[in-house]
Amino acid sequence: MSLLQVRRDRVTFRLAKPPVSGQIRLRLAVVSLVLAVLAFALFCVGMTIGDVPLGVSDVLSAVFGGGDSGTAYIVQELRLPRALTGLLAGLAFGASGAVFQTITRNPLASPDMIGINAGAATAVVAGISFGFGGGLGTTTLGLLGGLLTGLLVYVLAWRRGTTGYRIILVGIGVFAMCTSLTDYLLSRAQITEAQASIGWLVGNLANRGWAHVVPLACALAVLLPLVLALSRWMRTLQLGDEVAAGLGTPVQPVRLGLLLAGAGLVAFATASAGPVSFVALTAPQIAQRLARQASPPLTASALTGAVVVLGSDILARSITASPLPVGIVTGALGAPLLLWLLARANRSGSGG
């Protein structure tokens, strides 16, 4: 027996065979679909920009193996890896931001704020300054730095369990420590080493190849399904630890799993594209307001992150004759939203 009910903005269904039930929020589904279409459009438009201008039809033909050999080389070897890195990094940043803001119950909590990006940056700068970055590579160093920083935040926040409040406070301290260490390393580095470090620190999609795309794609293939599997408990965590535990949620294992998965997403994204600022902070908040949800929706947040990164990259290559790093544009656009969130938190009495 099957049951289908439509109430306001949601559809409830229950199937007898297979035994599946659930809800589809119509507004959230429409918002996610629009964001997916917009992300694909920006993905294609981004590959038309360059020293050799191309049309969207030329890009699509080259992506699927058509067109002349010159156009196919430009698209498949030079522009497609950059576009894919931006798309996948945006998905990872947006999803990780939604995870951290949900488990901490704070709209200001993101990998930017609690030190994971800063830890990845410190590892990369240390590798370049001390000379072992050539063997490991910035991608591996950024990945190890981000993962170890996420684990460090969780361990330092542990006291008979963790809470979102302690994770934020410890993360801010770790962020300050890593930032200070990065500044010290830059001050002691040679000019060529400092230039190489700064080129990565701002977040950049230039000169990205398939070596950046493949690890990030594999990470998303593993970590996104894990986050989606744990997402059914994310809503109960929004109610507080005691209420969530009363509803049968294994609070600490779920929080640890979500934190490690979120840290893994942002670590792989940072390793591939650099610490692109404010995407993990702004994307979930934009998606939450578009979908009119009580907490950041995971899928819509990931798609919003992709739109923000791809759109910022197009803007960075269009506003000046010399292309800007994408992190400069996301920082310039994200800073006003951060100030607005802080002002809103103070007005509601939750800003301290």
What are 289-311's pLDDT values in tens digits?
Answer: 888 888 889 999 999 999 999 99
* pLDDT digit string, tens, across residues 29-41: 899 999 999 999 9
- What's the pTM value of the predicted model, to 2 decimals? 0.87
Q: Burial of 159 by CB count in 10 Å (0-12 exposed, 13-18 middle, 19+ buried)?
A: exposed
Answer yes or no: is pLDDT of 186 > 90. no
Both structure tokens of 106: 């704070």
Is the separation of the CB atoms in 263 and 116 below 8 Å? yes
Q: Residue 270 is encoded by which pair of tokens?
A: 């940072």
Q: What is the pLDDT of residue 221?
A: 94
pLDDT band per the 50, 70, 90 thresholds, residue 13 = low
∠ CA(120), CA(195), CA(184), 5° rounding?
Answer: 55
Per-residue pLDDT for 179 more than 50? yes
pLDDT band at 5 (very low <50, low <70, confident <90, very high): low
- CATH architecture label of 26-50+58-345: Orthogonal Bundle (1.10)
Domain-wise residue ranges, the chain: 26-50+58-345
| Amino acid 71: pLDDT | 86
Instruction: Give the model's pLDDT for residue 47.
Output: 92
Supply the pLDDT for residue 1: 44
Q: How far apart are CA 162 and CA 267, in angstroms?
A: 21
- Asked if residue 98 lies in contact with residue 302, where contact means CB atoms within 8 angstroms, the answer is yes
* Whether 295 contacts 234, CB under 8 Å: yes
- pLDDT value for 168: 84
- Partners of 24 in beta bridges: 11
